[in-house]
Amino acid sequence: MPHLTSAKPGTAHTDLRPGLGVPGLAHPLLAPAEWAELARPGTPVHWVALDVADGPGSRPDPHCLAAAVRLRNAGVRVLGRLDTTYGARSFGEVISEAHRYLDWYQVDGFLLDRCPTERTALPEIRRTATALRALRDGAHLVLGHGTHPYPGYAEQADQLITFSGPWSDYRWSQVAEWTADHPADRFCHLVHGVPRGHLEEALRIARWQGAATIWFTDRTDRGGNTDPWATMPGYWDDIVSRIGTGVSE
């Protein structure tokens, strides 16, 4: 068993039924079957991040628009991926890309990837979040920290990605105590390199740590520039059946 820390002993989220958060598949032309599968009725997908060309690209892409429309028609949120580069990108650049996502793909919200975690960066993320909500009423915002940030970030978004990394780290991970003050639907875990035989253990960790949205895959980042999120897990049908139906948002 992994060593876990629960802020309130005995309050593990044992009844949690998670859904899937897809951090970014390959372009729909390269992975048409995968994009179609995400839109299949009953698939428990909470949101899918759209990354056209390290952002919205320089011009509208009809293939990405078609994929986004199919997902929205299936009741799945589509989020535009905005790379904050840990706070290094300017406010203007991020908001300009957000405008293009909205104009070209009618996204439902945004994933602020590589989001900073420090308290000092919080005011700028607050400014960005406020502007994004002003651009689109009801925008769903996910902050892609990849680790536990300063607790104040939880007030700026609908959801925080508090783990993103390999199974070798996740199985021994610990949850920050402050997360117990928030419901499980505020947190997401992205884990690559999860062997099929450890899938149930990974789901148990997510339940125990209180993360309602997950993306577990057996793909890895080994081999140089390999992106473990670009393709579906080899056990896609298995993970969908374990999560069950009826939890799509």
Which residues are within 8 A (CB) of 241 and not within 5 positions of it... i.e. 6 or more apart? none
**Tokens 């139906």 sit at which residue?**
245
pTM here is 0.91
**What's the token pair of residue 157?**
């978004």
Q: What pLDDT does 8 receive?
A: 37
Q: What pLDDT does 222 receive?
A: 82
Q: What pLDDT does 226 receive?
A: 80
Nearest CA to 160 out of 136, 189, 135, 139 is that of 189
Instruction: Compute how many other C-beta atoms are within 10 angstroms of the C-beta atom of residue 137.
Output: 6
Task: Return the bridge partners of 45, or none.
Answer: 20
Residue 234 φ/ψ region, left for φ over 0, alpha for ψ in the -120 to 50 degree band, beta for the rest: alpha
Q: What pLDDT does 228 receive?
A: 95
| Digit-coded pLDDT (tens) for 194-211 | 999 999 999 999 999 999
Q: What pLDDT does 18 receive?
A: 82
- For residue 118, count CB atoms less than 10 angstroms from its CB and return exposed for 0-12, middle for 13-18, buried for 19 or more: exposed
Nearest CA to 191 out of 245, 147, 137 is that of 147
Q: What pLDDT does 71 receive?
A: 97
pLDDT per residue as tens, the chain (249 positions): 333 333 333 334 444 468 999 999 999 999 999 999 999 998 999 999 999 999 999 999 999 999 999 999 999 999 999 999 999 999 999 999 999 999 999 999 999 999 999 999 999 999 999 999 999 999 999 999 999 999 999 999 999 999 999 999 999 999 999 999 999 999 999 999 999 999 999 999 999 999 999 999 999 988 666 899 999 999 999 999 998 743 333
Measured between alpha carbons, how far is 1 from 124 in angstroms, rounded to an integer? Answer: 39
AA identity, residue 120: T
